[in-house]
Structure 1
C-alpha cells in the first residue's frame, strides 16, 4: 500500500514538474512563423510604419567593433537600436553613453548571453533588473525594449521584462552575420528578402558570442543594406520610430 502511494506521489510530482517546465517554455512559441505573423506580430518586430525598417544590433557594446559600426551608421545617415549586454556595458560604460549621444536607442539584451532554459523567476528578475539598471545608469537613457539571448523567450524573463516596464521585441529578418564564413555579400543576400516595410532587422556589433571578426562582415554590409532601402523608399531607423502596435 505504501509503495503504491509512493509511486502515485512520484507520478504527480513528475507531472507537476513537467507542467511547470511547459509553462516556462511556452512563450518560445513566438518563434514559430505562424505565431509571429498572427497573434504575436508586435513581439516578432512587425512595425506599423510601411516605409520603415527597424535596424537593431545585439551583443555590444564592444570597444573593438562598435565604434566602427557607429561611424558606418553616420556614413549612411541611419540610427539604430542597440540591445546591450550588461556584462559588456560594464566593461565599456563610456561607449554606452556615446551610443545615446550619437542619436541611437539603447535596449536590454540581458546581463550574460545565455538562455534560461529552466524556471528560476527570482534569478531572472534579478539579472534582468541588473542589466536594465546598468543600461539606464551608464547610458543615461531609460530602455524600453528587451530581446532575449538567441531570441528564445521563456516565461521567467518575459514576466521579469513586463515587471520592469520593458517590451519584448525579436526580429523579422537577419543577416546570419555571426558565422565564420559571413561576408558583406552573404549578410546582404540573407537579409534582403526580409527588408520590407515594417521589418525589424537583426545584426551584431560585437563578436563576443559569434565567430571572431564576424562583425567586419556586418560593417561591410551596411552600405549595401542602406542602398537597398533607399531604392525602395524605406527608412532605416530605431525601434522607437517603428510604430509597434
Structure 2
C-alpha cells in the first residue's frame, strides 16, 4: 500500500484512536474542572457521596450499618456481573434508601476500541440494576473512571448520564487508612463536590475498604460542620438530575470542608 490509500488508512486509524481515547482526558482534574457536570459539580450546599466496585457481601453489611447510623444516603456504582450474583445486596441498598447506578458489567481496562461490546455490557448492567432495584438507573461511571468513545456512546444509548468525581480518597491503596483518606479528600473537597470512595476491595488492595468505612463518620461530621448536607447524586443538583451546577446565590459559594481525621496510629 502506498500513496493516497496509505494516507487514507493512516488518517482512519488516527481518527479511530482519537475517538476511542480522546474522552479519557476527562480523568485529569483540570479537564473535569472545565466540564463541571461531568465532574460531578452540583448544589454548593450539598456533597454527593458515591461508592464504586460493589456489591460485595464481605463489606456491604458494614457500610449499610454505618450509613444508617450516620443517617446518610449514597449512590452506589455497581458492577452488573456482581449485582447479578448478589441481588440481595442491591435490594438491601434500595430498602435503606440508597441509589443504584451503573459501573459497567465487568471492571475491565479500556485499551482497545470495542463499541459493540461496550453497548452490550452497559445495557446488560442497566437491565440488571432495573430488575433488582425496580427503577432505571440515571448515572454511569466507567471502570477506572476512564471514558472512551465507546463507553460514552454506550451510556448515551442506555440513557445514562456519565458522572466522575471532584474528590477522591485514594482508598484503594495498600497503605490507605481512615486518616489518609480524609487527608486526600480534604485537599479538594468543597460544597457542591462529588466524593469517590470504594465499598469493595475486589479491584483494590485487600481490606482497603475498611479505610473508606473508617473515614465516613469524620467525613460526614466535617461536611455538616461546614453547613453542607450529604446525600446521593439524585439530590445533588437544584437544576435536576442533569447535574448542571446551579448559579451560586448570595452566601451560596462552595464552602471548603475542613477534614481532620483521627491521628495515625
Q: Any residues of structure 2 matched to 1:105-120 within 5 Å, and which?
A: 105-120=99-114
Higher helix proportion (structure 1 or 2): 1
Deviation at 1:27, TM superposition (A): 1.3
- Given the alignment, which residue of 34, 40, 49 partners 1:45? 40
Deviation at 1:140, TM superposition (A): 1.8
Which runs of 5 or more structure 2 residues have no equivalent in the other structure?
A: 238-242, 245-265
User: CA separation in 1, counterparts of 2:30 and 2:169?
Assistant: 21
- Given the alignment, which residue of 19, 37, 47 partners 1:23? 19
Q: Any residues of structure 2 matched to 1:79-228 within 5 Å, and which?
A: 79-228=73-222
3-state SS, counterpart of residue 68 of structure 1: helix
User: CA separation in 2, counterparts of 1:92 and 1:147?
Assistant: 20
Please name the residue that 1:242 is paired with: 236
Please tell me the root mean square deviation across aligned C-alpha atoms, in Å: 1.1
User: CA separation in 1, counterparts of 2:110 and 2:158?
Assistant: 18
Please name the residue that 2:29 is paired with: 33
3-state SS, counterpart of residue 194 of structure 1: coil
Please name the residue that 1:7 is paired with: 2
- Kept in 2, the 8 Å contact 1:86–1:131? The answer is yes
What TM-score, normalized to structure 2? 0.87
User: CA separation in 2, counterparts of 1:78 and 1:193?
Assistant: 22
3-state SS, counterpart of residue 101 of structure 2: strand
User: CA separation in 1, counterparts of 2:13 and 2:229?
Assistant: 47
3-state SS, counterpart of residue 2 of structure 2: helix
User: CA separation in 1, counterparts of 2:140 and 2:109?
Assistant: 14
Please name the residue that 2:251 is paired with: none
Aligned residues: 238
Deviation at 1:77, TM superposition (A): 1.0
What TM-score, normalized to structure 1? 0.94
Q: Deviations over 1:62-108 (max 9, x none)?
A: 01001111111111111000000011111110110111110000000
Please name the residue that 1:69 is paired with: 63
3-state SS, counterpart of residue 164 of structure 2: coil
Deviation at 1:135, TM superposition (A): 0.8
Please name the residue that 1:56 is paired with: 50
Deviation at 1:42, TM superposition (A): 0.3
User: CA separation in 1, counterparts of 2:159 and 2:115?
Assistant: 16
User: CA separation in 1, counterparts of 2:80 and 2:29?
Assistant: 30
